Each structure stands twice: as C-alpha cells, then as structure tokens.
Structure 1
C-alpha cells in the first residue's frame, strides 16, 4: 500500500483516542480550560453518564468571536508560548476541543469580556459551522452531545451510566481539591446535585473527603531545595482498603504519578498493613522547568528532573509529621466500637429474667435455677468482703498478677510503688494522654482511665511496636553486622544494572551488604547482612537493581532488614495471656506516650482505642 496523507477527520479521531478515553476525560479537559480562563464559578451538567450530554458553564474571560474557529482547530492555543519547558497552565496542547469535536457533537458558545454579544460554533461529523450570534451574558458554555457516536466501537467499551457518572464525580472532586476558591456545581438527570462552595483548603478537604478526615489528618509542610510540599496526610490507623482516596497535585495539576504514589506508600511502610492504603491530599509546588508535564496527552503523568529529591521530600515530610504527631488514635475506633455494641445488643437473644415476685412470696414463672456450680465462700475474694486489714492484704487487686518481677522486658516501672492505680481525679490521671491503668481484662487488654473517658490497650500490639522501634534505632544507628562469605558470590547482571549497584554500594555497605564490580557484567558479593541469615543473594541483587532502575534508592534491602526486625519484635513482645502488675501496665502506657508511631503496631493494627465519657453515657441512654 502506498504512503498517503490521512484525512483530517481521521487524524482527529486517532488523536482523540488518547485525549478522550471516556466521558470523565471530556469533563476534565473542559473544566481545566475553564480554570485557565480564570473562572470562579463552574457548573457541570451531565445526562446518561456523560454519553448523552455534558455541559460545562463558566464565568471566565471568554473567547472573542474571531477566535472561536481557531479554538476548535488542532494545535491552536493561547496558553503556550515558544518554550515547551515552561508550562504554567493546566492545558497547553491545543488538542482537547478538536478531539472532542471529532467523536461527538460539540457546541462552543462564548462571550468575551467587553464584547457586545456572544457567538457560537458547532463541530460535528467532520464539519464546522459558525461563528454565529448566540445568547449568553458572560463566560463560556461548552455542550457535548452523543459522545462517540462516530466511533461505535469505542461506545461499546464504556461502562454503565452509573459507573461513568461516578467517574465524572471523582474527576470533579480531584479538581475541586486543587482550587478551593472556585465554586463547583455538579448536576444532571443521572445524579443528585453536588456543590462545592468556595473556601479554604481545610473546608474543601472536609467537603470532599468528609469532616472525619480532618479529625484524623496531620498537616504536612516541608521545603527542600526550592521544592515545596504542603497538604494533609491521614494517621496510619485511618486507612482505606484501596488507593482511591489519595490525591496528589503538582503545581495545581491533579496527577496519578507512579513515583509520587510509591513515595506516599513508602512513607507508611512500617506503620500500615500491606493491604491498607493511606488517605492523603498532597500539593507539590516546583519550578515548571524542573518538571515535564508533556509526557502523555492526558497529562496525568509527570517526570521530574530530580526524582530522588522529590521522593525523599515526600517520604521525609510525612514521616516527620507522623513522628511529631504524638500518640493519636483514629476517631473511627470509638465509633466502630459503639456500632459493635449496638449491633450486639440488637441481635443478642433475650435471657429469662432471674427474679422473684414480691407478691405473696411466689416465684415468677420466668425464674430458672442457675446451673452455675456453687463454690465455697472466701472472704478474701468476695466482692462483699469485710474491710478488715488482713482480708484486704490477702486479696490481690483484680486483674493484677500475684507474682512476677517489678521490671519486665526492659521497661522500668512507674514511680508509683503501689499496685493499685491512683484516684481518678489525681494528678497522674490528668497528666498523661493514656491516663492511669485500672485493670487487665482477659490477660490481653489494659483498661486505663483518662480525665474524660477510658482507653483500651492491646498489650501485645503496643509492646510489639515499642520493641520494634528500639530495634530500628539500634540497627540504623550504626552499621549493621555483616556475614562474610567464605567464597564471594559472583552474579552476572546486565552492564547497566552493574553500574547502578556499584554506584549505590556505599549505602549498601552500612546495611551489611558488601559488593563490588567484577568485570563489566558481574558483581561480586563478599558479605551479606547477618540479620538476614541465609539469603538468596542473586534474587536480592536483582530486586535491588530493579528498584534502582525505577528511580528508587534501593530501599528493598533496608525494608528486608526492617521486616526481620519487625518479625523479631513480634515474637519477642509480651503475649496475650501474660498477667501484668499495675506498675507494669503504667510503665507500658508511659513508654507508648514517648514512642513515635505507638498508635499502631508493626502490622498497621491500632494499639489502643479511646472512648469518651460522653460515648459511654450515650450507650446507656444518658445523653
């Protein structure tokens, strides 16, 4: 077949395959155009999940009538000068409107500031009509009907109306987070109306992610070498089952960049379970010259000139915020507990009442003899025991071990020597966030009383975290011990992987991995970290080389070391079923308050749940 020039309409449809993936892509492109035009009020209306109708109205600066035809022609834009490396707007390619017009019926109506009247153009079926006069007071209205009517094959691959409408909502939510001062209104016959009123960032975050997020979020504010990172990141125990609630913006542009999302995941590496995902909204500000947004027509991916700097900033800033946050538990813990209580009360079978009738001394028909065997009365253990000193001395405090050392597992006991806890109104109960230990339940959970509620602590999870943090400090505070190999292990690798590993060798040396180049395409491993034991060096080096090739810093080895430390901490921590004395429980609470990340164990589970007195009173109908 001879080489020939493709018709313009075919070229437009081919280009539309990258720009217009689904109705949500149309909404994204048109809303970004409105924001670039300086709009402060944007209304989005849809029908049929966006397949039948998409209408975007804004109050921006508008388009002059003599430029309307240029606006719907390919590679015509007012947002880009001669330097592609200096992009300061959301759009810049000049492809959105012509691509949409090639696969749908597009009407563009606009009135420029100061213009006497509005004008419109129509694009559809490979032809363009206009401009012609049209009624419009200000701004721009873009109406898209019958999306993909000219390419039925694409139409078949779209999902149902509900799924497409949900995707449009998610796009608007992401853009709304990036521009809190702008009012967004989302409506249509296929949805209920959603309005995001203008305000500041916390108010917009509460509107998009819910007020619960702000109660469980940490503020992130960091800067390094001209790169600024601000936003909010959820505490580890406030996690979700998927990554849909992670919002990352670069210079105001919503992105789904793999490197940034990987950095976000890495920041929570040892405080969150692998099947859980953090909730975050992060805003990265960087010199436009240092970032390339011209990676894909959809503009969802970006490339940084120094990805290591950006990745390190994200991980370091979030970890610093987590470390400085103190001891915080998710507010959902108490809510989930209350819900479980109510559900249990609603589904529990009614037991016959054990009561006597006061009339004529007759027993109630509902009375049944208890089947519990009788035990001899012991004054020392009876809840109604007399107050003689010898009886009090014979009876240990409920839930406290009768034997055991005063110092356990490396933790010094509290200054208080008595096993009994202080008075509720005493200074110790008020001075500490986790309050004072009152008792141990089922030899697994510690009940502590605070000034305005109670705290339930999982003793194994809490101690596991404390031991793990101590081990990490000892491991990373000095070079790890290395296990020398009797015969160096020579591993053949591609030359580019050898170069990357040789360059990163000094950082691996601190972790106990000693390697050096062995010719052009091989690496000689002379020692491995002793803590890893018998390790497959070939597989480990290949994994490290892959990480370095992906722009990461070879964190896999450090993560393996931390994983071993986590496993050792889990096996070396106090177990459920271990009785604890009062001073031991208080010592554990005080150590938790002084240890960063003690709100969750190594596996991401919460170490404590707090219930306010008001919540407890609500359970009993007192509020």
Structure 2
C-alpha cells in the first residue's frame, strides 16, 4: 500500500484516543480552558453520566469571532507561540488539541463572547475542521461548550463506557479535585437537571478550609496540620493529615504543581518516605498539597492528558518535599491543641500547627569523621527507663489526693496530670479540657525511639570491617552509580569500591547493621537512586534496629507505675516529636473532652 495522508477527521479521532478516554476526560479539558480564560464562576451540566450531554459555561475572557474557527482546529492555541513559551508554560492547556479532538467524536457547539463584543457567536464542529459558519447568539460574556452524544460515531469506544452512575462519579470526583486548585472560583455541578453541589468562591482561610471539608470531609480538617514552607525558589503549602488519620487506599491524596493536579512517582516517593516512621502498616496518608515553582523547572509536556510532569531538578524537589513533610509531622506537639478522637481507624487527636520556616536540605551530621571510628554507640535504653523515677521527686507514699492538691494552683500542661494507672496498661490523666488515656508502652516506645535516634545522629557512625569482603554483581549503570556515590556510602559507614565493569566490592558496613542482608540492602539503595535520585534505605534500616531496641526497652504492660513516673512520661510526651503514634504507627493516646463526658450522661439536655 502506498503512503497517503490521513483524513483530518481521522487524525483528530486518533488524537482523541489519547485525550478523550471517558466523559470525565472531556470535562477536564474544558474546565482547564475555563481556568485559562480567567473565569470566576464555572457551571457544569451533565446528562446520562456525560454520554448524552456535557455543557460547561464560564464567565471568562471569551473568544473573538474571528478566532472561533481556529479554536476548533488542531494545533491552534493562544497559550504559546514558541519553544521558549513551551518551556515556561504556566497555563493549563497549550497543545491546541482538546476541542478538535472532542469534536471528532461528539457533536460540539462553541458559543463565546468577549466582554467588549456586542453579541456572542456560535459555531458547530464535526472534526473535519471545515464549513465553520459563525452565527450570532444571545449569550452573556464568557464561553459555553456544548458536547452531545459522546462517541456517537465511534461505537466501539462507546461500548467501553461504564454505567451512568459510574461515569458521573468520575466526573464529580474530578470537579471536586479541580475545585481545590482554584479557591477563587465558584463551581456548580448538576446531573440530569439536579444540582449536586454549588461551591462558592473561597477567599478567606475559613472559607478555604470549608471547601476542603466539603470535598474531603470535616474529619480531614479536624485531623490535619496546615503547613507553609519555602526555600530555594520552591514553596509547599496545604494540609497534611496526621499519621493515624490514614486510609486503606490512596483516594484522598491531592497534589498540585503550579495549580495543576498531577500524579508523580517522585512526589509519591517523597511523601512515602516522610511518613515512613509514623504510618501504620498498609495505610496511606491523606493530604492536599500545593507546590509552586518556576515553570521552567517543570516539564508539563510529558503526557497528552497532562497528568504527569517531569522535574528538571528532581533531587532538589524530592529533598524539599521530604524535609517539609518530615518536619511538619515531627513538630506536632500536644500543647498546640488537643482534639478528641472519634474513630481510631480514620481519625486521631490533633494539634494544629501552622508551620512556616525556611527549608534546609538534608545534611550529614558534622560529627562524621573522614575515617570510620570504633566509638561506642550512645544507646542506653535501660538507663533511660530507670531515669523516669528520678525525673520527679520520689513520692511513692504520697496519696494522689495530696498530689492533686499541690497541682491545684498550677497551670495544667496539655496532657494534664496522671490520676491512675488502669489495668497497669493505661494512664488516666486529667487535662484542661477533659481526660486522656495513654497507652504506656506505646508512648514510652516513641519517647525512647526518638531519644535513640538523636543520640545516634550525634555520635560517629561505627564501621565494622568485614573479615571476608562481599562481591556484588550489578549492572554497569549500578556499578557506575556506586562509584559516583562513594562519599554517600562512606558517610554512613560503608566502604564500597568498584572492582569491575559490573562488580562492586563491600569491605565494611555500619556496626549496627552487622548480620543484615547487605547485598539486598545495597541493591535497594542503588535502585532508589536510579528511580528517585535519592535513597533513605540505609537510614530506614538503622531506624528499624533502633525501633526494635526501643520496643524491647519500653515499659511493658503489667508494670505498675507510680504517679510520679506517669507524670514524668506525660511531660516527656509533650516534648517528643511524633508522639501521636508509636514506632508501629499505633496511636499513643486519645482524649475525651468535657462535652463528650456531658453527652454520655445527658447533662445539659
């Protein structure tokens, strides 16, 4: 068969296969055009899950009559004009493919009127990019795109559509996610002439939190921390959920890059690493985060649907995200605010902390020497446990009533004062707002673990030479990477050298990791570097050992604590990072407020 040019409509239908996957894809492209038009209010009308009608109206800048035919032609756009514009694109759309692609698989009508125009003009398209005949229309300033009978001329594609309810659910979820990226805009969604929701513009902090609550639920706002970090031309703001306010799936993770909702492996890895030390096994964190950076540092032209991006400085972005989230979780303290817990599965006591500080890239402790040292690790678990009885003056024979009398004239700390040790497991304490229950073992485990990590970081890495060096066979790329990252490994106590094109030799390892599967660990670290340009596998392995030491050394269930010991633990908790959960991600304490107690006994009703 001879080579020949494809018909214009077929070309557009091929492009539609990349852009238009389902009705929600059409809605996404059209709403993004509304964003670029500077709209203040967007109305989305859907019928039969989008298969019959998708009608989107905005009050944006509109399109001139002369430009309407171009708007329905491939590779025609007002967003960019040169390669330099593409490398600095700040708009949602820029390909010039959406409208002609949609018109090739549906009956599309475009009506638009700039504010200064005397009237609006209407054109219809069928994907052939011919026979455009603009007609006057009594449309207010702004633009309306009417898409009917999606996939009417491609029956094979139409058969792949799901049930009406399923397709509309995709649209509703999409609009809610997009609404979180533009607080200044209003969104109205209807389905089969019934209003589903109507989000007003959210300009104040309270209104923004209300919109977040409308989309993610009130529990998310009550169990989240608002953050705002900036450094090196990067800014991260938004809300991150507490570790024990987690989900069994990744359905409440919203990440926006310069206002664009994206899914990115580098971002997912950084978030996962930040929650690594506090999240319960098998659970996923929740967050609504906004990353702002120079458009030149992010490539949005990576996928036709524009859901994926590429960062030009991936390592910088990864370290920034990790550090910002890691510190925001570590800075949570009971004294900021204590909130009741409703369900351990999804919510957790919260302290609100609006963190705003300059980001500092992760750095190695200055105590690291240029050569491995055989200094003892400063880990003294048993001594720390015994120290609890010395933190408060010994008063074993003093009655709780006398202690409360002494404390009566003092301002109660956030976690209050201990009253009893229930079942020799739980500390019952009275707080300024009610009572709390503390899992003694879980709380002491976290306190001890954080102390061990600080002590380890302040000491030198103890390197243990191997009697028999380990030769590891790797790929050429991994061998070159191991050679390039020699200093990184050396600072952590490893002595690794390249011994051939596809071989590396391991001569010494951190003393704390002796007995671990070194070959698997090194392979995992190199794989992380190749995939994410960073790795925390070694630190994670060290932390696993410190966590195990803390767990074995923590107060066990059944050991009776004195009032002094319980109060000492409460004070330690108030000063400890990530105290909301133990090393395994379980909650360490819960609260019942005075109002909760009143409800139990129908007081005031």
Q: Secondary structure of the equivalent of 1:130?
A: coil
2:544 to 555, 563, 567: 563
C-alpha separation between the residues in 1 aligned to 2:147 and 2:233? 41
Contact 1:443 1:579 in 2 (8 A): yes
8 Å contact kept, 2:331–2:578? no
Cross-structure match for 2:88? 86
Cα deviation for residue 251 of structure 1 reads: 1.0
Q: Which residue in the other structure is 1:122 paired with?
A: 124
Distance in structure 1 (CA, Å) of the matches to 2:170 and 2:121 = 31
In the other structure, the counterpart of 1:159 is: 162
The 8 Å contact of residues 418 and 583 in structure 1, kept in 2 or not, is answered as yes
Change (3 A) 1:512 1:66: same
SS in 2 for 1:278: coil
Aligned to 2:256: 249
For 2:143, what is the secondary structure of its paired residue?
strand
What is the distance in 2 between the residues matched to 1:544 and 1:605?
28
Task: Check conservation: 2:113, 2:142, Cα contact below 8 A.
Answer: yes
SS of the aligned residue for 2:76 comes to coil
8 Å CA contact 1:338, 1:619 repeated in 2: no
- Residue 32 (structure 1) shift: 0.7
Q: 331, 334, 337: which one pairs with 1:324?
A: 331
Q: Deviations over 1:279-312 (max 9, x none)?
A: 2111111111111110001111111111111111
Q: What is the distance in 1 between the residues matched to 2:155 and 2:186? A: 35
Q: How does 1:223-242 map to 2 (within 5 A)?
A: 223-242=230-249
In structure 2, the partner of 1:196 is 199
- Residue 108, structure 1, aligned to residue 114, structure 2: no
Aligned match of 1:456: 437
1:7 aligns with 2:10: no
1:38 maps to 38
Q: Which residue of 2 aligns with 1:180?
A: 183
Judge conservation of contact 2:244–2:344 (CA < 8 Å) in 1: no
> C-alpha offsets along residues 413-464 of structure 1, whole Å, 9 cap, x if unaligned?
4435334343279357743111111111111111111122000001111111
Aligned equivalent of 2:557: 576
Distance in 1, Cα, partners of 2:164 & 2:582: 42
Q: Residue 127 and residue 88 in structure 1: after superposition, are their counterparts in 2 closer, same or farther (change >3 A)?
A: closer
Task: Measure the CA separation in 1 of the matches of 2:314 and 2:518.
Answer: 28
Q: Do the aligned partners of 2:339 and 2:591 also contact (CA within 8 Å) in 1?
A: no
Task: Show CA shifts across 1:542-601 (max 9, x none).
Answer: 211110111231211211221222222222211222221211111111111110111111
* Corresponding residue number in structure 2 for 1:399: none
How is 1:471-486 mapped onto 2 (pairs within 5 angstroms)? Answer: 471-486=452-467
Matched residue, 2:280: 273
Tell me what 2:392 maps to: 415
Deviation of 1:125 (Å): 6.6
Residue in structure 1 matched with residue 471 of structure 2 by the alignment: 490
Does the CA-based 8 Å contact 1:444-1:459 persist in structure 2?
yes
Distance 1:252 1:522 in 2: 45
Contact 2:49 2:191 in 1 (8 A): no
CA contact 1:428–1:436 (8 Å) conserved in 2: no
TM-score by length of 1: 0.85
TM-aligned CA deviation for residue 412 of structure 1:
4.4
Distance 2:51 2:405 in 1: 63
Q: Are positions 1:543 and 2:550 aligned together?
A: no
Larger radius of gyration: 1
Q: How many residues align?
A: 559
Cα distance in structure 1, aligned partners of 2:346 and 2:11? 58
- Relative to 1, partners in 2 of residues 1:444 and 1:23: Cα closer, same or farther, differing over 3 Å? same
CA 1:520/1:440 → structure 2, altered by over 3 Å: closer, same or farther? same
State the secondary structure of the residue aligned to 2:579. Answer: coil
Name stretches of at least 5 consecutive residues in structure 2 with no aligned partner: 348-381
* Pair 1:110–1:406, CA change in 2 (3 A): closer
What TM-score do you get using the length of structure 2 for normalisation? 0.87
Compute the displacement of 1:328 (Å).
7.5
User: Which stretches of structure 1, 4 residues or longer, exceed 6 Å deviation after superposition?
Assistant: 328-332, 337-340
| Aligned mates of 2:2, 2:405 — CA distance in 1 | 91
**Partner SS for 2:343:** helix
In 2, Cα distance between equivalents of 1:173 and 1:118: 30
Say whether the 8 Å CA contact 2:335–2:413 is kept in structure 1. no
1:504 aligns with 2:482: no
Determine the structure 2 residue equivalent to 1:262.
269
Contact kept in structure 1, 2:179 and 2:187, CA below 8 Å: yes
Shift of 1:7: 1.8
Instruction: Give the superposition deviation at 1:134.
Output: 2.1
The Cα offsets for residues 457-513 of structure 1, whole Å up to 9 and x where unpaired, read as: 011111111111112112233343223211211212112111212222222223222
Unmatched segments (≥5 aa) in structure 1: 341-404
Q: Distance in 1 between matches of 2:496 and 2:127?
A: 64
Query: CA separation in 1, counterparts of 2:338 and 2:577?
Result: 18
| CA shift digits 1:203-242 (9 cap, x unpaired) | 4323322333222222222222111112221222222222
Contact 1:49–1:190 (Cα < 8 Å) also in 2: no
Change (3 A) 1:59 1:614: same
For 2:270 and 2:281, the matched residues in 1 are separated by 14
RMSD: 2.5
Give 1:249 deviation, angstroms: 1.0
CA distance 1:407–1:560, shift in 2 (3 Å): closer
The whole-number CA distance in structure 2 between the counterparts of 1:584 and 1:112 is: 73
